[in-house]
Amino acid sequence: MRGGHRFGRVRRGVGAALIAVTLVAARQAAAQTPFERLAPIDLTGTWVSVVTEDWHLRMITPQMGDFEGLPLNEQGIRVASLWDPERDAASGNACKAYGAPAIMRVPGRVRISWQDRGNTLQIQTDAGQQTRRLHFAGVPPRGQAGRQGYSVASWVYGSGFNPLVPPAANERLEDVARAAGGTLKVVTTNLAPGYLRKNGVPYSGQATVTEYFELVADPRGTPWFVVTTVVSDPTYLLRDFITSSNFKKEPDDSKWHSAPCTVQ
């Protein structure tokens, strides 16, 4: 009987060890899986911005001193009041209003595609000819500021989905992720100073941009995405500047119109 008990304990121990090894292997496989496979929403394709709010501020360059809706502090107002578009053009700074804090508010089209074997999501804009790269599991570099900064992306899953938990035997991990739904979260730092609007409203190199991309569909079934952008800047803003921008999916690139940055 004692031998039988020992055998039972050994068998249960081996079984537990096998389960542990299986879980570890599954988690390692999930960690090594390209983030494209685990995407709960599909943002790839060509999208056009639909300007449903702040039309007079987005489609037309605001007048100097027009700070409508902007939580500028005294320093921000002072710097914005020094705006000189001719100086920007002459110094090669026509793209100052096309940085990550403002680019999704610029009317135009964006093309979204996967790069780097499914670990980086790329956003190209026809307005200003900008390229953003959203790095999943990325680590911001130090001292390398740029117009689009460095963006770290992550999936925020719905329905309690956990990519480290193996799916049922008859399910695929990517199918479970898609069924759960979710949001794309992007945090951008390492920014070169620029403009929140074309009339010289500034953001500093200390600014942080947090974005949330959500996929929806209209009554006809056409995909849209909504991006909520939160700009935090201790240098020029009294509080966070929050906007929400809408994009509608297009069937192809036939309406893509690439154009350089303009100062106004």
Query: In the structure, what pLDDT confidence band is assigned to residue 49 with cuts at 50, 70 and 90?
Result: very high
Average pLDDT, the chain: 89
* pLDDT score at 262: 96
**pLDDT digits over 172-210, tens only?**
999 999 999 999 999 999 999 999 999 999 999 999 999
* pLDDT score at 140: 85
pTM: 0.86
* pLDDT score at 33: 65
* pLDDT score at 24: 41
* pLDDT score at 120: 96
| Spatial CA neighbour of 194 closest among 98, 113, 126 | 98
State mean pLDDT over 46-58.
94
**pLDDT digits over 125-153, tens only?**
999 999 999 999 888 888 789 999 999 99
Where does residue 180 fall: left (phi above 0), alpha (psi -120 to 50 degrees), or beta otherwise? alpha
Does position 27 have pLDDT exceeding 80, yes or no? Answer: no
Does position 214 have pLDDT exceeding 60, yes or no? Answer: yes
Does position 22 have pLDDT exceeding 80, yes or no? Answer: no
* pLDDT score at 28: 43
**Radius of gyration of the chain, Cα coordinates, nearest whole angstrom:** 24
| Spatial CA neighbour of 225 closest among 211, 239, 234, 215 | 215
Place of tokens 């999916």: 249
The phi and psi torsions of 225 (rounded to 5 degrees) equal -125, 150
First to last CA, the chain: 89
Does position 12 have pLDDT exceeding 50, yes or no? Answer: no
